[in-house]
């Protein structure tokens, strides 16, 4: 664009007019990439398809495109990166993504195993000792809580399995590994978070091991 602006000036146009001419021309040429709506809404994927634009929903998908032919040609033409350097950067991006998710998964697994599960077992014992078994409402409350506890234990065990399997990929399958972390590991993490959040709402504030949302939001 700088070259085009200078070319306009050589034709006798002043700087401001040269800039306006170039910007107007570029905007018309590439307006298909401009979207002024909500990029997080359901309308965007449809709009993107109509404009012939790719819609990369996940980090692994975006990282894979980093070494596309047109990108490599751009980097080499602009003397920014060679093809080998682009591939090296992609390698680093894959590893960074996978390692970040792995650390988060390990952290979540540890929090649930060492803090949340022992806490909900303690509270379950308290409920069991307090509930009137002849009262169907109280009995149902205990049953619902117990079901959530069992669900969390099962999901946490699933988290152990998927995060272990994720580490089995070698360096020649970094895209597959990153995709596995994104689809399998992160999905199980989300499931664990959902159940843990439900238990947080039902467990006594005095024994819950982490700050509750009500505390984080200064509601109490």
Each residue's pLDDT tens digit, 175-196:
999 999 999 999 999 999 999 9
pTM above 0.85, yes or no: no
Each residue's pLDDT tens digit, 88-114:
999 999 999 999 999 999 999 999 999
Query: Where are the chain's structural domains?
Result: 1-55, 84-216
pLDDT averaged over every residue in the chain: 94
Written as six digits, the tokens of 180 are: 């596995």
- pLDDT over 80 (residue 32): no
Burial bucket for residue 84 (CB in 10 Å: 0-12, 13-18, 19+): exposed
In CATH, 84-216 is 1.20.120.1560: yes
Answer for the pair 86, 75: CB distance below 8 angstroms, yes or no: yes
* Predicted pLDDT at 135: 96
């Amino acid at each position: 664009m700088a070259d085009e602006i200078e070319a306009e000036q050589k034709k006798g146009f002043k700087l401001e007019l040269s800039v306006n001419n170039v910007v107007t021309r570029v905007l018309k040429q590439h307006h298909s990439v401009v979207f002024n709506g909500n990029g997080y809404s359901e309308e965007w994927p449809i709009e993107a398809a109509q404009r012939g634009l790719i819609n990369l929903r996940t980090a692994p998908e975006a990282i894979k495109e980093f070494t596309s032919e047109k990108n490599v040609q751009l980097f080499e033409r602009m003397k920014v990166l060679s093809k080998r350097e682009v591939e090296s950067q992609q390698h680093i991006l894959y590893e960074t993504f996978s390692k970040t998710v792995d650390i988060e998964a390990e952290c979540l697994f540890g929090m649930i195993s060492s803090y949340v599960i022992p806490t909900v077992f303690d509270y379950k014992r308290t409920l069991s000792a307090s509930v009137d078994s002849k009262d169907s409402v109280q009995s149902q409350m205990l049953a619902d809580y117990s079901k959530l506890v069992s669900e969390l234990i099962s999901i946490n065990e699933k988290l152990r399995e998927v995060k272990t399997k994720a580490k089995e990929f070698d360096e020649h399958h970094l895209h597959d590994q990153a995709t596995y972390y994104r689809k399998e590991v992160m999905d199980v993490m989300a499931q664990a978070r959902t159940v843990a959040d439900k238990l947080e709402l039902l467990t006594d504030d005095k024994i819950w091991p982490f700050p509750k949302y009500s505390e984080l939001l200064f509601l109490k």
